[in-house]
Amino acid sequence: KDLHPPVISLALSPGSGLLMAVLVQMTVAGKSFTGGKVEITLAANLTASSRLWPDAAGVPLFSPGSCRITLVSVKTNLPSSTLPKVMSKFLDSTLQKVLPGLLCPAVDAVLNLVNAKFSNLTSKIPLGSAGTLQYALLNPPLTTDTFIELDLKTILRQKEGKEVDLPMDQLSLASLPPKSNAATQLILSAGFLSAELSVLQASFNLDISNDMVLGLPPLVTTMLGAVIPEISRALPQSQPVVIEMRAAGAPVVTITPGQSSVQLFSTAEFRISPADSAPESLFVLDVHSSLEVQFAVAEEKLQLSLAL
C-alpha cells in the first residue's frame, strides 16, 4: 500500500569493498483470516556487502556478496490478542522469504550501475587524431576505511599504433595534497603529461606568414635585417618571409607548487618565397620556448592553457 523512499548508507570495508545499508519502510494491506482488513507497517534494514576486484580483463568491478534482511519494527491494526500468533506466522513464513527476493536484486542493480562506469576505465581515449590514451590496472584495488585507491598504468600510442615509453615514476600518497572529502582525485605525473604532449608535438608545428600574428611588423627580409644586423648584408631586399616552426624534441612539463611550465624545443627555418622562383631557405634557428601552464577541468577533460 505504501513504500517510503529508501534511506541508503554506504561505507567502505577495508581490504574488501563496499558495505551498503538500506532502510526500507512499507505498509502491507490485505485481508486477515477473519475477513477483515489488515495493515502491517514495517521497517526493515537490508545489509549487503560487495567485493572490489579486477575481472579477467583487468577492470575493477564490484561483485555482490551477502545480502540480509532484518526487521526493525512492525505495527499492525490487528487486535493485540491475535498479534503474537498471527504476526509470528506471517513474518516467519512470508516476509523473511519474500523481502530478500524483492530487495536484494536492487543492490545488484546499483552495483551494475557503478560497474558500468568502471567498464569505461580501459576504453581507448582519442587524443585528437594524434594517438590514443588507455588506462590499465597496475595493481589490485586498495580499499581503506576512507577511500579506494586505483594504481593505473597509462598506455600512450601514436596514431601509427606505436607505444610511447613512459617514465616509471611512482608517486607516494604521503607526498600528495590532502584528499578532499567526498571527492574523486586523479593524480597525473609531470612525466606522464610530458609524454602525452610528445604524442601531440606535431600540433606545435606552425608556418608563420605575414599578417598571421597580430602586432608584428610586416614579415619581410628588411625587418629581419633590422632585428639581426649581422645577416642584413646577405638578405635580399623586401622579400616576404615565411617562418616554418617544427618540433625538434619532446616537450618537458615541470610542475611545482607555485608554477607549472612546458619547455618546447623546435627549429625555426626562415624562408623567402619569390613570385618567380622556388622557395629559398635563408637560415635556421634553434628555439627553446618556455610556456607557463594553467590547468582546468571542463566536461571531465583536463585542459592546458599555454602562455609564452
Burial group, residue 218, by CB count within 10 angstroms (0-12, 13-18, 19+): exposed
Out of 105, 120, 135, pick the residue that ends a domain.
120
In total, how many domains does the chain have? 2
| Residue 230 predicted with pLDDT over 80 | yes
Residues with Cβ within 8 Å of residue 161, at least 6 apart in sequence = none
Residues 203 and 114 in one domain: no
| pLDDT, tens only, 116-160 | 988 888 889 898 888 999 988 888 899 988 888 888 888 999 988
Give this prediction's pTM.
0.67
Which pLDDT score, from 0 to 100, does residue 133 have?
92
Identity of the highest mean pLDDT range in 59-68, 92-101, 165-174, 204-213: 59-68
Q: What is the CATH number of the domain that holds 108?
A: 3.15.10.10
Q: What is the pLDDT of residue 118?
A: 86
What grid cell was written down for 275? 613570385
- Assess if residue 159 is contained within a domain: no
- Which residues are CB-neighbours of 160 under 8 A, at least 6 positions away? none
Residue-wise pLDDT tens digits, 51-60: 999 988 889 9
Residue 70, strand partner residues: 45
Please say which residue of 103, 120, 137 terminates a domain.
Answer: 120
Among residues 120, 154, 172, which one ends one of the domains? 120
Mean pLDDT of 17-46: 85
Per-residue three-class SS string for the chain = CEECCCEEEEEEECCCEEEEEEEEEEEEEEECCCCCEEEEEEEEEEEEEEEEEECCCCCEEEEEEEEEEEEEEEEECCCCCCHHHHHHHHHHHHHHHHHHHHHHHHHHHHHHHHHHHHHHHHCCEEECCCEEEEEEECCCCEECCCCEECCEEEEEEECCCCECCCCCCCCCHHHCCCCCCCCCCCCCCHHHHHHHHHHCHHHHCEEECCCCCCCCCCCEHHHHHHHCHHHHHHCCCCCEEEEEEEECCCCEEEECCCCEEEEEEEEEEEEECCCCCCCEEEEEEEEEEEEEEEEEEECCEEEEEEEC
Q: Band the pLDDT of 104: cuts 50, 70, 90.
A: confident
Per cent of the chain over pLDDT 90 is: 25
**Which is higher by pLDDT, 167 or 135?**
135
Lowest mean pLDDT among 82-96, 116-130, 196-210, 224-238: 82-96
Average pLDDT over residues 170-196: 76
Q: Which of 81-90, 198-207, 265-274 has the least mean pLDDT? A: 81-90
Question: What mean pLDDT value characterizes the chain?
Answer: 85
pLDDT score at 243: 92
In whole angstroms, what is the distance from residue 124 CA to residue 261 CA? 27
Whether residue 259 lies inside any domain: the answer is yes
Note whether 116 and 222 are same-domain residues: no
**Does residue 44 lie in a domain region?**
yes
- Which letter, b or e, does each residue of 238-253 get, where b requires 16 or more Cβ atoms within 10 Å of its Cβ? ebebbbbbbbeeebbb
**Residue 176 and residue 4: Cα distance in Å, rounded?**
43
Say yes or no to pLDDT of 169 above 80.
Answer: no
**Cα–Cα distance between 166 and 124 in angstroms, integer?**
17
Q: Does residue 85 surpass a pLDDT of 70?
A: no
Mean pLDDT (whole number) for 3-31: 88
Domain extent, residue 95, equals 7-120
| Tens digits of residue pLDDT in 234-291 | 888 888 889 999 999 999 999 988 889 999 999 999 998 777 778 889 999 999 999 9
Q: Is the pLDDT of residue 298 over 70?
A: yes
Grid cell listed for 28:
502491507
Give domain status of residue 103, yes or no.
yes
